[in-house]
Amino acid sequence: GAVVSQHPSWVICKSGTSVKIECRSLDFQATTMFWYRQFPKQSLMLMATSNEGSKATYEQGVEKDKFLINHASLTLSTLTVTSAHPEDSSFYICSAVTGTAIRYYGYTFGSGTRLTVV
Amino acid sequence: DAKTTQPNSMESNEEEPVHLPCNHSTISGTDYIHWYRQLPSQGPEYVIHGLTSNVNNRMASLAIAEDRKSSTLILHRATLRDAAVYYCILRLSNFGNEKLTFGTGTRLTIIP
């Protein structure tokens, strides 16, 4: 099957600092990766779509300067939350897909990163 | 994007079958029906998907209505580990890298 590894699984940071979250596809090359955010008791909200080697496409209302996404290789995408504030505390989830794998594995998700900003 | 409608919550007894409904009355001819589930504090997990015919895999079965305006995810014998939020999502094709848009899903509670 397809496996996506996401790190760290949880992080606590001080207000004003930056945090980087990594998302790796372990056994397949992910042409596209997605980043979601989920607040307690709510559904997943898509933040951005990133394709390897190109700029990410952000959903409406998501600040691109605050949530920096880098997809430098076919197996790694990173999300950096810059100058984090308590309202950025949330569960961040990545997803990876490759065009043909969808037929067999659907979309593969990481295990999520719980970010707490204090 | 075509939308889906699911009950907010359902309960089922352990070791009994569970039928999770999903309405998608505006589905287009090329939309695939995907099901994912999310266990507490985890990322979503792919369950099953189909286009027109019923589908079976090791996790579940997907029954698709003849007019495709509704579908039902069937867990044949629920266990406590099946307690999760189940999402029914429509996707335009069986290839490519389009985004998945999650609705509110159905929170399934399994009663021991």
pLDDT in tens, B3-50: 899 999 999 999 999 999 999 999 988 889 999 999 999 999 999 999
The answer to whether residue B98 scores a pLDDT higher than 90 is no
The answer to whether residue A42 scores a pLDDT higher than 80 is yes
Average pLDDT, chain A: 91
What gap in Å lies between CA A117 and CA A10, rounded to an integer? 11
The answer to whether residue B94 scores a pLDDT higher than 70 is no
Q: Inspect the interface and report whether the beta carbons of B45 and A100 lie closer than 8 Å.
A: no
Whether the bond into A8 is cis, omega within 30 of 0: yes
Give me the residue from A43, A49, A100 closest to B95, CB to CB.
A100
pLDDT higher for B95 or A33? A33
Q: Inspect the interface and report whether the beta carbons of A98 and B94 lie closer than 8 Å.
A: no
Give me the residue from A99, A109, A114 closest to B45, CB to CB.
A109
Residue A102 parent element (H or E): helix A102-105
Q: How far is B45 from chain A (nearest CA, A)?
A: 7
Adjacent-strand bridge partners of A108: A96
pLDDT higher for B58 or A52? B58
Number of residue pairs across A and B with CB atoms under 8 Å? 65
Q: Inspect the interface and report whether the beta carbons of A6 and B43 lie closer than 8 Å.
A: yes
pLDDT band at A104; cut points 50, 70, 90: low
